[in-house]
Amino acid sequence: MPIATPEVYAEMLDRAKQEGFAFPAINVTSSQTLNAALRGFAEAESDGIIQISTGGAEYLSGTAVKDMVTGSVAFAEYARVVAAKYPVNIALHTDHCPKDKLDGFMRPLVKISQERVANGQEPLFQSHMWDGSAVELHENLQIAAELLEECAKARVIMEMEIGVVGGEEDGIVGEMNEKLYTTAGDALATAEAVGVGEKGRYILAATFGNVHGVYKPGHVKLRPEVLKEIQEAVGAKYGKDKPFDLVFHGGSGSSLEEIRQAVSYGVVKMNIDTDTQYAFTRPIADHMFRNYDGVLKVDGEVGNKKQYDPRSYGKAAEAGMAARVVTACEDLMSAGKKLK
């Protein structure tokens, strides 16, 4: 199937909310990790979201270029070609964009999509994330309102974050403090500033103790009931049941019970990065340790070309990551629910 149109993406999110499941949003950094994500979604018979961060976009442009927009465009165009060979719907998304990178990442990409739409084409990406967690809430919402208007012109969905996800991702550091838990007041202020859909569609990363990185179960103190509280507070004011389409960030180390509870409160998208990175790299490490005398020219020998050919370990890495994507689809209950 082709990359999801705005209409198909909206249908994906609506159906997830109505039927009580969520889509894994898989971070990728290369054509091979993209292929692994596509394979995983296809094997799970799940539609899905594939995304790149600022660092991932820069990496995709080449280490000698380091241009986020170039890498993003290359990724999206490549994805359009290869995704068409898979029997699932895929939405393309850009992850965390802080204030200091808006002009070099999100805004130019939204502009490209606006130009494409004006020319009768589909937008380049289906959604973009504005990460205003490092600024005060009033500034976060002011910028969000401006970006939402621009995204609506481009027929793309905006993602925004209120509260702070702890830990570190691509140089964005979230402090471990009370801001790890979004309040009902924060959610009401958000609805007042950007509406509940009438000003343009957005998805909301509200925090409930989330932390980026990898931790053993029990280390991260998640409180999914926070999501229930903000949905009820805003729903009561606006007369809507579960008014927000929620996003779960920093989910590594979460228990299945916590994940399912969050989904029941309106989470439709859960970011997966740390776990799939490991699933990709682990088979490569295994190959290198088992075949060290083939991948290295030990003591002047010639090595074994079949073992140091990147395809030999790349195939294993792709299979390992695809399997982890399948697990994510099963955990979030999107497996077997692709749109027909």
How does pLDDT run across 15-42, given as a tens digit for each residue? Answer: 999 999 999 999 999 999 999 999 999 9
* 87, 1 contact by CB (below 8 A): yes
pLDDT at position 252, please?
72
pTM of the model: 0.94
The first and second tokens of residue 298, run together, are: 């030990």
Distance (Å, rounded) from C-alpha 338 to C-alpha 330? 13
Distance (Å, rounded) from C-alpha 101 to C-alpha 31? 24
Distance (Å, rounded) from C-alpha 57 to C-alpha 27? 10
195 annotated binding-site participant:
no
Specify the amino acid at residue 247: V
Distance (Å, rounded) from C-alpha 46 to C-alpha 1? 12
Specify the amino acid at residue 173: V
Kindly state the average pLDDT of the residues 119-131. 98
From the DSSP assignment, how many helices (H) and strands (E) are in the chain?
13, 10
Tens digits of residue pLDDT in 266-283:
999 999 999 999 999 999
Taking alpha carbons only, the member of 72, 42, 49 closest to residue 273 is: 49
Tens digits of residue pLDDT in 51-102:
999 999 999 999 999 999 999 999 999 999 999 999 999 999 999 999 999 9
Active-site annotation, residues: 95
Q: Is the pLDDT of residue 173 over 70?
A: no
271 annotated binding-site participant:
yes
128 annotated binding-site participant:
no
Reported as type and span, the H/E element at residue 160 is strand 157-162
Q: Is the pLDDT of residue 216 over 60?
A: no
Whose tokens are 């029941």? That residue is 264
90 annotated binding-site participant:
no
pLDDT at position 213, please?
61
252 annotated binding-site participant:
yes
Q: Going from the N-terminus, what domains does the chain have, and what CATH number goes with each?
A: 6-282+325-332 (3.20.20.70)
303 annotated binding-site participant:
no
**Strand bridging mode 202-206 / 172-174:** unpaired
Cβ atoms < 10 Å from Cβ of 35? 20
219 annotated binding-site participant:
no
Specify the amino acid at residue 259: I
